[in-house]
Amino acid sequence: MDLVLWIPSAILAAAFLLSGVTKTSTPYDAYQARPRAGWAHDFSPNAVRAIGILEILGALGLVLPQATGIYPLITPLAAAGLAALLALACLVLHRRGELAPALPYVGTLLVLAIVVAIGRLVLNA
């Protein structure tokens, strides 16, 4: 069962690490101009950067505690936090009328995050 949870954890960690690094390292104006980043117009530069930092922390929280065995309870909490972030992203995209094209990607990540959160919580209990 542990290996079954490592695969979605790795997928989530890679996706959120890439997304978070992009949000924190790309200048705000350049980030807003990217395709599928129209939502950034509704947020301040600091808010977009904070979202990126949360994504990076979530990605690290998915992998490091479980891999090192140090506070492995952080892993399901990180997965739950990323699931909450994705749920909020769905609300923002729905409000902007952009949810339909993003739903396959966001929905898949949301399901993976929920599976990892529940699976790791059960295994670490």
Sequence spans of domains, the chain: 2-124
Task: Categorize the per-residue pLDDT at 90 as very low, low, confident or very high, splitting at 50, 70 and 90.
Answer: very high
pLDDT of residue 124: 80
pTM: 0.94
CA–CA distance, 44 with 117 (Å, rounded to integer): 30
Task: Categorize the per-residue pLDDT at 1 as very low, low, confident or very high, splitting at 50, 70 and 90.
Answer: low
Rounded mean pLDDT, 58-75: 96
Nearest to 89 by CA among 48, 45, 29: 48
